[in-house]
A = this chain, B = another copy of it.
């Protein structure tokens, strides 16, 4: 989601809205290359004028993972996406699956409030070495950029374990934590195995299971995830 859509008051104090990396000129150039017809780029004041007071809570799917560490964040996401859809009235909207929980919050809201917009989750785009692309990657110093690859390798280790028959979430999680803790520049925020739709934690990998990671690398808070496709019990 383009960050200027979010309510600045909903941002956690650890990440300043005004310092979020933005480059409108570059965004416009890329959109023109892709032959976009329209760009909707409202100001915070357009979206949240004086007296604004309505917020949407998508309760359960907003709670775990990033929701547990960024109170109010998904409330802001749900609210602004509802507003965006009411203004633009799209038939289809695309969201990147790197922000997996965001996609699930939006899907659940669409279903609950009876809004008929097709939500398309787009596969994460990666750098050649596997690091998930993110505006925040530009915060990384060269040594941090190198260390950040442990997210990708931890996801790979987890997938290898599941392919090898491991089903205990706890053991898969331990392998992920071990892989990431080899990097002193990386501080893990969470590594959780969850139901891929409801996002509640699971104990066992019995079918498709989300492994979601979040780690701080220097000033950058990075997230990544993979669906571990365990055999159905």
**A41 contacts the other chain (Cβ, under 8 Å)?**
no
CB distance from A51 to the nearest CB of B (A): 7
Contact with B along A96-118 (1 / 0, CB 8 A): 00000000000011001111100
Residues of B within 8 A of A109 (CB): 54
Q: Do the beta carbons of B86 and A53 come within 8 Å of each other?
A: no
Select the residue from A53, A54, A86, A87 with max chain B CB neighbours within 10 A.
A54
Q: Do the beta carbons of B57 and A112 come within 8 Å of each other?
A: no
- Binding stretch for chain B, among A14-22, A24-32, A58-66, A174-182: A58-66
List CB contacts (< 8 Å) of A62-83 with chain B. Answer: 78-79, 82-83
Residues of B within 8 A of A108 (CB): 53-54
Q: Do the beta carbons of A113 and B57 come within 8 Å of each other?
A: no
Residues of B within 8 A of A56 (CB): 54-57, 113
Q: How far is the CA of A52 from the CA of B79 in the complex (A)?
A: 17
Residues of B within 8 A of A51 (CB): 198
| A58 CB contact (under 8 Å) in B53, B57, B87, B114 | B53
CB distance from A177 to the nearest CB of B (A): 30
Residues of B within 8 A of A198 (CB): 51
Q: Which residue of B lies closest to A51 (CB)?
A: B198
Contact with B along A34-60 (1 / 0, CB 8 A): 000000000000000001111111111
Q: Which residue of B lies closest to A115 (CB)?
A: B86
Q: How far is the CA of A116 from the CA of B59 in the complex (A)?
A: 26
CB distance from A167 to the nearest CB of B (A): 25
CB distance from A213 to the nearest CB of B (A): 25
List CB contacts (< 8 Å) of A116-172 with chain B. Answer: 116
Q: Do the beta carbons of A113 and B82 come within 8 Å of each other?
A: yes
Nearest 3 pairs of A and B residues by beta carbon: A54-B112, A86-B114, A53-B59
A-B residue pairs in contact (CB < 8 Å), sample of 20: A52-B112, A53-B61, A53-B108, A53-B112, A54-B57, A54-B58, A54-B59, A54-B109, A54-B112, A55-B56, A56-B57, A56-B113, A79-B113, A82-B113, A83-B112, A83-B113, A86-B114, A86-B115, A86-B116, A87-B114
